[in-house]
Amino acid sequence: MIPHTSKKHALALDFGGTKLAAGVVNIETGEISALVRKSTPAEQGAQATLQTMLAAGQEAVKRSGLESQILRVGVSFGGPVSKDRTTVLHSHHVADWDGIRLTDQISQVFGIPAYMDNDANAAALGEWHFGAGKGAENMVYIQVSTGVGAGLILNGQLFRGSALAGEFGHIIVQPGGPRCACGRFGCVESLCSGWALARDGKAALREAPLHSPLRELCAGDLDQISAKTVIEACRRGDAQAEAILQRAFTGLAIGIANVVSLFDPDTLVLGGGVTRAQDVLLRFLEPALQEYLHPLSKGRFVLKFSELNGMETLLGAALLA
C-alpha cells in the first residue's frame, strides 16, 4: 500500500447563493472523498449560512476518514472578496456578509489555514486543472448560475486584477434593460442568470394564455417558476419562454463577444446550472455569437462546456489551498 502524502488532501467549501457544498478533495487527482450538500439558508443571513457550512465541513472531514491528513481549507465564495482574499466584500444573494473575515473564522474552527477566492475564479481553476480548460494558455470561464461571473486564465495564470477582475455578470449589454442585483440596468446577469430567468418567467405567467406550456409546467403557480421551468417550457415550444431566452442568451453572447475582443482567449468554457441546458442555450447563443463576434475573433477560440458536473467550484476551492 502506498502511504498517503500529507499535502494532497484539502477540505473544500463552496458558498453558493442557493447551495452550499463541502468535500475533501485529493488535489492531485480531483477525487472528492466526502461530499456534503446543504441548501443556503439565504433568508436567515450570513451567520446562519456560515454555521450551516461549518457543520457541513466538519461532517465531510469526519466522513472522509482523512482528518489527520487535511492541512488546509480552500474556500469559494459566491461574491467578490478583498484583494488579500481574507474578507468578503459583498453577497448579492445573502444579507450581512459585507466585511466578514471569512478565512479567519474558518481557520479558527478547523485549526488549519484557510484560503479563499470568489466562486468564478475557483471554478475557472477547477476547470483549467481538471476539466474542459486543461492545457489552455488563455481561457475565459463563464459561470451562469444563480448569478453570473467569470474567471480569467491569462498567460497560464489566474488573473485577478486589483481584486474584482472577472465581474463579467456586471458588464452592461443592454442599456436601459432590466434592473440588476447591483442596482444598475441591463447587466449580463440581469438578463440570463437563474434569478433573471425566474423573474421573467413569473412576469410572463401573468400574461400567459390559458393553455401554454409555461402555465402547465407550473400548474399556474408563480412560486413554482424557476429558470428550469422557463427552459423546459421553451423546449415544449412556449412562445413566451422562447422570447425570454432569446433576450437572455443574446445578452450573454454580446458579453462573450466583448470579452473575446478584449482577451483573445484560445478556450472559452461555459459552466453553471443554466448552461447545463446545452440544447436550448446553443439554439440562441450560436446565432447571436455569429452576429456579435468581431469577424477576426471567429474561429480563434473553442467554445466548451464544463466537464466537471457542477463540481468545478469545489475542486477549484481545493486548489486554492
Q: How far is the CB of 124 from Zn ion (least distance, A)?
A: 20
Applying CB under 5 A, the span of 99-107, 187-195, 246-254, 263-271 interacting with Zn ion comes to 187-195
Distance CA 117, CA 314 (A): 11
| Cβ proximity to Zn ion, 98 vs 286, nearer residue | 98
Question: Is 26 buried (19+), middle (13-18) or exposed (0-12) by CB count in 10 A?
Answer: middle
Which residue blocks in the chain are alpha helix, DSSP H? 45-64, 102-110, 119-130, 188-192, 194-206, 213-217, 227-235, 239-263, 278-292, 312-320
Q: How far is the CB of 254 from Zn ion (least distance, A)?
A: 14
Distance CA 172, CA 138 (A): 23
Q: How far is the CB of 191 from Zn ion (least distance, A)?
A: 10
| Cβ proximity to Zn ion, 187 vs 241, nearer residue | 187
Considering only residues 127 through 186, tell me which ones interact with Zn ion, judged by CB under 5 A: 170, 180, 182
Distance CA 203, CA 41 (A): 25
- Relative to beta strand 139-144, strand 114-118 is unpaired
Cell numbers linked to 124: 475557472
| Cβ proximity to Zn ion, 9 vs 170, nearer residue | 170
Instruction: Tell me, by CB under 5 A, how many residues bind Zn ion.
Output: 4
Sheet (strand 31-39) strand order: 31-39, 19-26, 9-15, 73-77, 114-118
The three-class DSSP label of residue 120 is helix
Q: How far is the CB of 157 from Zn ion (least distance, A)?
A: 26
Q: How far is the CB of 80 from Zn ion (least distance, A)?
A: 12
Among 152, 187, 231, 308, binds Zn ion (CB under 5 A): 187
Distance CA 146, CA 194 (A): 4
| Cβ proximity to Zn ion, 180 vs 257, nearer residue | 180
Q: Does 230 bind Zn ion (CB under 5 A)?
A: no
Do 301 and 263 contact (CB within 8 A), yes or no?
no
| Cβ proximity to Zn ion, 80 vs 131, nearer residue | 80
Q: How far is the CB of 221 from Zn ion (least distance, A)?
A: 29
| Cβ proximity to Zn ion, 122 vs 191, nearer residue | 191
Q: How far is the CB of 219 from Zn ion (least distance, A)?
A: 32
| Cβ proximity to Zn ion, 170 vs 247, nearer residue | 170
Residues that bind Zn ion (CB under 5 A): 170, 180, 182, 187
